[in-house]
Structure 1
Amino acid sequence: MSLFRRDPVQIIAFQSYGTDTHFYLRGRALEDESIDLEKQGFFSLLVNSWKRMESDEVKNAGISIQLPDGTVLRTKSDNHGYFKVKADLKGLKAMANEEGWLACEVSYKDDRIKRSIQNRNRFPAEILIPSSTANFGVVSDIDDTILHTGVVSTLKWRLLYNTLFKSAKMRLPLEGAAAFYHLLHRGKSGENVNPIFYVSNSPWNLYRYLELFLRQNDFPKGPILLRSFKDILKRKTEAEKPQKQKEIIDLLNTYPELPFILIGDSAEQDADIYLEVAQQFPGRIKAIYLRNVKHEKKLLRVKCLLEKNKTTPALMIETSEQAIQHARENGFIA
């Protein structure tokens, strides 16, 4: 995007996470494509899908983040419109609500862009600072773990169809998943406020779509951790870890006193990633739950991995009720 065009602009701040002394926020500066996430109908859905994928970024723009106590942080968007802010501060937990969410505001701090903004230059942002009552954190995959996607269909045609031609309101969660996650969120006491983090291989372009899906289907609120298109298309070295694995490791390093429960499925690499993380962080992973996606070859491979596993409890599940029963027997939930 040219900074001198008078197109409407926006900032989408991705729900992120931090600690009492560490502020961390990600987001993206974009042209406002006026995507209506509530619209139905084949043509409207096709247009909205195109707008999500063909987003026009605002490059190299000055951005300001204001915290509730008046603290102001500054950064710039990169050549793809993404920005990231990390800062060591004090007393952040005191500014968060009972669920651990710290609200702040993001705005453009760039005279070239301010000229093109008519009325709005204040955009909401939040980071999650886990409560001191949390006993563990939860990391959950999204695709075919809580959301039917069809990732194992031939040439992934069902995944493409569901993403392009179904609105977030039309998408179906896996039965019982939201109830299970609320039990995990409340924990053994019923009031633990355990943090939930959602990870996916989807691009950040689908952030608002997935956020709406989680909200519409009453999943506990939590940061959604995705990846950029440039990372999806980039050729990886053999030694490079998947983005999902990097995100989980970042969480474990950010909260060194907090154990985690990992939830995924048997469709892709979740079993490989989760078991390797459990080996790398002994004693930090309380349990691994993997949903069976009904693909015989993939299921057999995952079962072989689980049979060799001696590190942490890992369970292949057919239903949410099986996971609830295991979590209850092991004292994770009431």
Structure 2
Amino acid sequence: MRHGPAIGVRVTDFVTRRIGAVLRRRGWREKPVPFVGYGTEERIRVLGRLVLSPADDKRLPSHAAAWLHRRGWRNFLALPAPHRPVRLTVGSRTLILRTDRRGYVDLTVTARLEPGWHRLRLSAANGSTTEVPVQVIAADTAFGIISDIDDTIITTWLPRLFLAAWNSFFQLEGNRQAVPGMARMYQRLLAEHPGAPIFYVSTGTWTSIHFLNRFMTRHGYPRGAMLLTDWGPTTTAWMRSGTDHKRDAMARLARDFPRIGWVMIGDDGQHDPELYEEFAQNHPGRVRAVVLRTLSPTEQILAHSTVPLVAEPHRARHPRRVPSLRGADGDDLWPALADVLGIETEQPPRRRRAPRHRRGPGSLAMP
């Protein structure tokens, strides 16, 4: 007997194939969409997607076309191009890759590149080409940042039930609010550690990548790979697990960069505290600090439909601790985080209540 979720996968793939055939006859063309990749001096992870996309409608006035392009729902005017060849050019080498059932390219390839930022070329069979940015991280790098996105660096005063649809289909990035001070905090951390990476690990979907890129550029967030996920059924579940996605993505980063000690930044609204604690226990000595943005009571209610309660201290299973910091925003958190990391600081731009710097009960347990 076939498992239920597998039926969902077959139905989704069938619909994608049929619609794709119709759209190709109507002139839609394959178009590669780049995501930021990363890697070491010997191996790189290439991320992107191949989609079917309509030609630009040149009959629209320029201002109307720009408005439509920036609306989130336009991101969905594209269909995955599954199991299709794409060409990846790395220096003088050309590799033939193949997209998965949802049109994604997520492959690790051998390549010798110097540390720093590079641009690779990804091409569809029809010649449509894009550049894929890749950050190559030096072998001796010992510092890195893992950051959540929603409720950590971006906030929207909407109930969680409507948040994904609203942000995906209607919002402009100018209407989303950046959490104060978070971009400054990230910039300061990376300025203290040149060449160190930042990874944005989120349960958000890849369809929001254009919006996120514009938003983060607008608000000064450092460039880094965004490890997002996808909606829809898998062979084992009707819907993908966001928690499992974040757990797996962070575990892969730990394997790929065994020398890096991480600063892990999230919020206290959902699963970040538990996931970061689990990571610290599974990778002893690899977490320098856990930084949690504390949601306000209103944000807790809107985001999670719950009234915030006083959290019970974590039960420590081991005597040693990972420093755990909590505060309302980046300006609130920075002084204590800088102190934990041994960074000299200037007077903060504005005085706020000090974050709770907890080393006793309630800190994250670490073997």
Q: What range is the shorter-chain TM-score in?
A: 0.7 to 0.9
Q: Which residue in the other structure is 1:55 paired with?
A: 78
Superimposed CA distance per residue, residues 144-186 of structure 1 (whole angstroms, 9 cap, x where no aligned partner): 1000134xx5453355434433201332211111100001111
Deviation at 1:308, TM superposition (A): 4.5
Match of 2:37 in 1: 16
Alignment correspondent of 1:291? 293
Query: For the Cα contact (< 8 Å) 2:37–2:46, is it kept in 1?
Result: yes
Q: 1:122 to 1:205 in 2, by over 3 A?
A: same
**CA deviation after TM superposition for structure 1 residue 304, in Å:** 2.4
- Shift of the 234–178 alpha-carbon distance from structure 1 to 2, 3 Å rule, reads farther
**Pick from 207, 220, 223: which aligns with 1:221?**
223
User: Which of 102, 109, 112 is 1:87 aligned to?
Assistant: 109
Is 1:282–1:311's contact at 8 Å kept on the other side of the alignment? no
1:317 paired with 2:317, answer no
**1:46 and 1:164 in contact (8 A); partners too:** no
Structure 1's 263 and 251: CA in aligned 2 closer, same or farther, altered over 3 A?
same
Q: Is the 8 A contact 2:243 2:271 kept in 1?
A: no
| Higher alpha-carbon deviation: 228-237 or 2-11 | 228-237
The two structures, once aligned, show a CA RMSD in angstroms of 3.2
Q: Which runs of 4+ in 1 moved over 4 A?
A: 33-36, 44-47, 231-234, 296-299, 305-310
Match among 109, 121, 124 for residue 105 of structure 1:
121
Q: How far 1:135 sits from its partner (Å)? A: 3.5
Normalising by the residue count of structure 1, what TM-score does the alignment of the two structures yield? 0.81
Percent of pairs identical after alignment? 23
8 Å CA contact 1:45, 1:165 repeated in 2: no
Change (3 A) 1:281 1:242: same
Task: Find the partner of 2:135 among 128, 134, 148.
Answer: 128
CA distance in 2, matches of 1:178, 1:307: 32
Equivalent residue number for residue 143 of structure 1? 150
Aligned residue in 1 for 2:312: 304
- From the superposition, tell whether residues 137 and 298 of structure 1 become closer, same or farther in structure 2 (CA, over 3 Å): farther
Q: TM-score, normalised by structure 2?
A: 0.74
Conserved in 2, the CA contact under 8 Å of 1:185 and 1:193? yes
| Alpha-carbon contact 1:75-1:84 (below 8 Å) kept | no
SS at match of 2:172: coil
Is 2:110 aligned against 1:72?
no
Q: Which runs of 5+ in 1 are unaligned?
A: 115-119
What is the identity, as a one-letter code, of the residue corresponding to 2:291? Y
Structure 1 residues 288 and 231 mapped into 2: Cα distance closer, same or farther (>3 Å)?
Answer: farther
Q: 1:149–1:159: 8 Å Cα contact kept in structure 2?
A: no
2:312 and 2:234 map into 1 onto residues whose CA distance is: 28
For residue 268 of structure 1, give the secondary structure of its aligned residue in structure 2: coil
Greater Rg, structure 1 or structure 2?
Answer: 2
Change (3 A) 1:218 1:46: closer
Q: Deviations over 1:13-38 (max 9, x none)?
A: 211111111121121101235799xx
SS at match of 2:332: helix
- Residues 25, 86 of structure 1: 8 Å contact kept: yes
Q: Is the contact made by 2:72 and 2:171 (CA closer than 8 Å) also made in structure 1?
A: no
Name the structure 1 match of 2:13: none
